[in-house]
Structure 1
């Protein structure tokens, strides 16, 4: 149980370390984005790279509670969302004309998963979880619409992450959870 609390803190800690090094030693120019013509490992580094501490703070505030909510379902679900988000970022990396970075894609992946999983599983706990997420975070869904996000914000990164979360929920909804009791 303790590691479930620590895992998101470790992930965010890496982002804070990267941003601190970036600001202290590189004056904010050490970004690790994903984008056209950039190395493939940007798919893995982009979530840890931010455009300053304001960007990182806003992502941290969203990332931690959404991570902990997904982790109430289990590690398998959390890892599935993270993998699905990376997979859905591949077309963005290959074809989108601008680079992007930050945890927003992962955040929207977690949100997409949480919004859908309750209705796929039809368990009371999962439905309550989905409804709570819709109430608390539903206003962020407008950032998935082109032209609604502020200039410089990658709506495509949000949308691809959200789709990754949806696909993760669809992929694992029929598989028994690690928290479910076995009939055997």
Structure 2
């Protein structure tokens, strides 16, 4: 079964990837990424949760490495379980635009979220968890519709706001044990990525 609309013929007459191919690829990458997080947490649990101290430690030069590691680490299975479904859904939706686009958005969110947490997090705390990516991907998908004015992307943004809008309270301080800095700056990274890719995202 071919995708709809039909893919354009390639330079030698062959057709490009169908919509089904794009959905299959997005699903495979999304599942693969989350599977890696579960394997890391399994290793962490088997070694006495030693990785939990490798998150972002604000203001500490030793904690800078946590910017690269924090989104891969979780403070226990409950933390990872809470992030799993949003990671699968939002990661899949970003990946529908292609692995390259997902890589760019994820990199921007990862760096902005990590640096913002390192600069503005409370000293003596450790921040970790893929919720940096969850908030970044969500705000990218929401802001993308605003910047591109494409009806389909606006409709998706509305649906996501209805389903996940309550999560946005997580960017506000005052919730014990919650890294609002990671959420806020991850979300900021998503908006920056949407703005930077606005011309690319206007293409069909």
TM-score, structure 2 as length reference: 0.80
Is the 8 Å Cα contact of residues 35 and 94 (structure 1) preserved in structure 2? no
Q: Give 1 or 2 for the bigger CA radius of gyration.
A: 2
How many residue pairs get matched? 176
1:161 matches 2:183: no
Quote the Cα distance in structure 1 between the aligned partners of 2:201 and 2:44: 42
Alignment of 1:43 onto 2:76: no
- Deviations, residues 28-86 of structure 1 (Å, cap 9, x unaligned): 23223012323433212111111110100011111110111112233333222211112
2:50 & 2:150 partners in 1: Cα distance? 47
Structural mapping, 1:1-184, within 5 Å:
1=22, 2-26=24-48, 28-31=49-52, 32-36=54-58, 37=60, 38-88=62-112, 89-96=114-121, 97=123, 98-147=125-174, 149=175, 151-175=176-200, 180=204
2:7 is matched with none
| Inter-partner Cα distance in structure 1 for 2:69 and 2:168 | 24
- State the alpha-carbon separation in 2 of the partners of residues 162 and 95 from structure 1: 15
SS in 1 for 2:47: helix
Residue 118 (structure 1) shift: 0.8
Gaps of 5+ in 2: 1-21
Of 155-164 and 97-106, deviating more is: 97-106
CA contact (8 A) 1:117 1:126 kept: yes
Q: Which runs of 4+ in 1 moved over 6 A?
A: none
Structure 1: gaps of 5 or more residues: none
CA–CA distance in structure 2, aligned partners of residues 14 and 39 of structure 1: 23
Q: Is the 8 A contact 2:31 2:88 kept in 1?
A: yes
Q: Which protein, 1 or 2, shows the higher relative CO under an 8 Å CA cutoff with sep ≥ 6? A: 1
Q: Could you tell me how far apart the structure 1 residues matched to 2:162 and 2:101 are?
A: 21
Q: Secondary structure at the match of 1:60?
A: helix
